[in-house]
Chain A
Amino acid sequence: EVQLVESGGGLVQPGRSLRLSCAASGFTFDDYAMHWVRQAPGKGLEWVSGISWNSGSIGYADSVKGRFTISRDNAKNSLYLQMNSLRAEDTALYYCAKEMIWPPVFDYWGQGTLVTVSS
């Protein structure tokens, strides 16, 4: 059974940093690209970042480019999101999502970890 479990969320002051983690199990992690998607309270889905199976291709939404860094450790079956210079508008539930081999859509999602940016 595929499982994605996010952690690392919490309350953080504007301008500070936070690192999210996603522990994956139930599939061969290093065969698949992975993504982070967020959802502000009461709002829609926003794609944040994606990373290929070997970290060779990485992309970011314009809203987080230069502040967030996605990475993965295939030996640990883990995905990460380093979030720096956090802003109030980064407050959201952050989901980890597994991509299908093809097409590149998200067939499994975690339950999310909540990040609240507030002073």
Chain B
Amino acid sequence: EIVMTQSPATLSVSPGERATLSCRASQSVSSNLAWYQQKPGQAPRLLIYGASTRATGIPARFSGSGSGTEFTLTISSLQSEDFAVYYCQQYNNWPSSTFGQGTKVEIK
């Protein structure tokens, strides 16, 4: 099983600042990596797939990069609505899939 490890567990950021979240795979997943956002009491929302492609309707301040085992989600200028938990997901061996443990982005 491919293990996904996210860091940090919690990221404290001021509105308007940049946030950088990391995700590492225990073995290469090529570019088969997605990011999701989850707010309290809500289902997850797809942000990024293919490591760097924004999903429909996702603002340009969200960007993804990386391949192989190292991936990054960057939020260029945090808005109030961006404070949430973010999960990475690998989908390299369909139908199996694994999620990281999540990074909580909180207001500093």
Contacts and interface: CB of A to CB of B under 8 A. Distances in A.
B96 A45 contact: no
A111 B39 CA distance: 12
Given A104-B91, A106-B46, A50 B99 contact: no
B41 to A, nearest CB: 9
A52 B95 CA distance: 8
B46 A44 contact: no
A7 to B, nearest CB: 15
A31 to B, nearest CB: 16
A97 to B, nearest CB: 8
Contacts of A35: 95, 97
Interface string B75-100: 00000000001010101001111111
Given A44-B102, A111-B43, A105 B96 contact: no
Interface residues of A, number: 27
Bin the interface of chain B by size: 20 to 34
B102 A104 contact: no
A62 interface: yes
A103 B35 CA distance: 13
Given A35-B97, A45-B102, A59-B95, A107 B55 contact: yes
A86 interface: no
> 8 nearest interchain CB pairs?
A50-B95, A59-B95, A109-B43, A47-B97, A45-B99, A105-B34, A44-B102, A105-B49
B50 interface: yes
Contacts of A23: none
Contacts of A103: 32, 34, 49-50, 91
